Each structure stands twice: as C-alpha cells, then as structure tokens.
Chains A and B, each alone.
Chain A
Amino acid sequence: NAGVTQTPKFRILKIGQSMTLQCTQDMNHNYMYWYRQDPGMGLKLIYYSVGAGITDKGEVPNGYNVSRSTTEDFPLRLELAAPSQTSVYFCASSRNSDSNQPQHFGDGTRLSIL
C-alpha cells in the first residue's frame, strides 16, 4: 500500500538554487495539499488542489509554486531557495472535503537551505 509518496526524503540546497519536491498518490484522491512543519510550529498549509488543473494558495504560499496536471501528482517548486525555507515538507491527500475524511500524509522531505 503506497499511499502518498514523497521524494526526495532529504535535500540540502544552497541559497538561490531551485528544486522540485515530488508528491504522488495512488488512492485516486481529488484533494491534495502541501504543508511545511517547523519545530514547535505545527503544520502550515502552503498550497492545495481540489482536482487536476486547479490549485489555490494556502496560508504561506510565498516563495513556492505548484501544478496539478494529473490526479496523482502534485509537485512543489522552490524557485530561489532562501534559509527561511528550511523545513520539513509534507504532502497529503484526501478523497474529498467532507469533514469525516482523513488527510493521508507522506513521510516528508527534510530540506535544508545553506
């Protein structure tokens, strides 16, 4: 049972570099999300998507971009990495927006910007 798969698991970037965090799910879920988790700060929503071709900003979208060309994939792009983007990034998916539906999380990408 793959669920939500994130790659890479770890990455170190230099300031100003760019990279794409990959996320794929095999549950045919319509909704997908990107969060960042900083120590002692909980999870903050970066971007979300309610279906292929539809994306919208969350609470902390600055410095990031997303796309959703297929139901399965929801990559997160960092164009100009900054030290403030050092964090653990989680991708999640849910079947729909019903309040009784869980969000299924990947195991995260640990990103350091030096």
Chain B
Amino acid sequence: TQLLEQSPQFLSIQEGENLTVYCNSSSVFSSLQWYRQEPGEGPVLLVTVVTGGEVKKLKRLTFQFGDARKDSSLHITAAQPGDTGLYLCAGGTGGSNYKLTFGKGTLLTVNP
C-alpha cells in the first residue's frame, strides 16, 4: 500500500508570513497533484507535477516535485487569509491519475 505523509497536520500563521508544507512517501509516484479544499466544498486542483525536480509557480504558491518523485513541497509566500483551507497532496501511479493516493492533508489557517 502506497502512503503519502503530509506535514504539518495543522498550521496557524499570521498574514504576511511564509510557509512550507510537505508531502512525503517511500514510494515513487508518476505524478503528484495538490488540491485545496475549503469548508463545505470539495477539493479543487491547484497543480500537477510529473517530472522529478519540476518546479511550478501559481502566483504566491510554489510547488516542487522531488528528484526521485517520492516527495513534494508547497511553499506559500506572504500568506493571505484567502489561503486558508485544507491542502491535500495526491499521488498517481503508472502514468495515470484514476487511482490517486491522497495524503491526510494540512489544515492551514491564516489570521488577519
């Protein structure tokens, strides 16, 4: 069974601070997706990374896929209250995403 460990589980910071959340596994994934989930809603895809060492930026969010494709990180610069939510990483195998393995998530709260 493939597992994705996310850390930290909870993170509460002040507006304007920087933060990094991690997604680690002992298994190799062919792709890694990051989703954000707000209360009462389903997850929404932020980014997909597929190449070892790949870095993608989405405004103030920077995503990196580890060289060995076993881990990923999400860095947020100058966090804003609108960044509050549950961040989930999900790994795909075999070049497909139809049986994703989800991490347990990092619950981020950004206080004004």
List A residues at the B interface (Cβ < 8 Å).
4, 31, 33, 35, 40-45, 48, 50, 58, 90, 92, 94, 97-103, 105-108
| B78 adjacent to chain A (CB < 8 Å) | no
Tier of interface size on chain B: 20 to 34
Interface of B is mostly: loop
- B100 contacts A45, C-beta separation under 8 Å: yes
- A42 contacts B105, C-beta separation under 8 Å: yes
- A40 contacts B104, C-beta separation under 8 Å: yes
8 closest cross-chain pairs (CB), A and B:
A105-B42, A99-B31, A102-B45, A97-B96, A97-B98, A42-B104, A43-B102, A42-B102
Which chain A residues lie closer than 8 Å to B41 at the CB level? 107-108
Distance from A53 Cβ to chain B, minimum over Cβ atoms (Å) = 16
Distance from B52 Cβ to chain A, minimum over Cβ atoms (Å) = 13
List B residues at the A interface (Cβ < 8 Å).
9, 30-31, 33, 40-45, 48, 50, 88, 90, 92, 95-100, 102-105
Of all chain B residues, the one with the shortest Cβ separation from A90 is: B42
Given contacts A31-B98, A90-B42, A108-B42, contact A43 B88 (CB under 8 A): yes
- B98 contacts A94, C-beta separation under 8 Å: yes
Which chain B residues lie closer than 8 Å to A33 at the CB level? 98
Which chain B residues lie closer than 8 Å to A45 at the CB level? 99-100
Distance from B41 Cβ to chain A, minimum over Cβ atoms (Å) = 5
Which chain A residues lie closer than 8 Å to B48 at the CB level? 99-100, 102
- A99 contacts B42, C-beta separation under 8 Å: no
Alpha-carbon gap, A33 to B31, bound state (A) = 18
Distance from B90 Cβ to chain A, minimum over Cβ atoms (Å) = 8
Contact of B31 among A41, A48, A94, A100 (CB under 8 A): A100
A-B contact pairs, 12 of them (CB 8 A): A40-B9, A42-B88, A42-B105, A43-B43, A43-B90, A43-B102, A99-B97, A103-B45, A105-B43, A105-B44, A108-B41, A108-B42
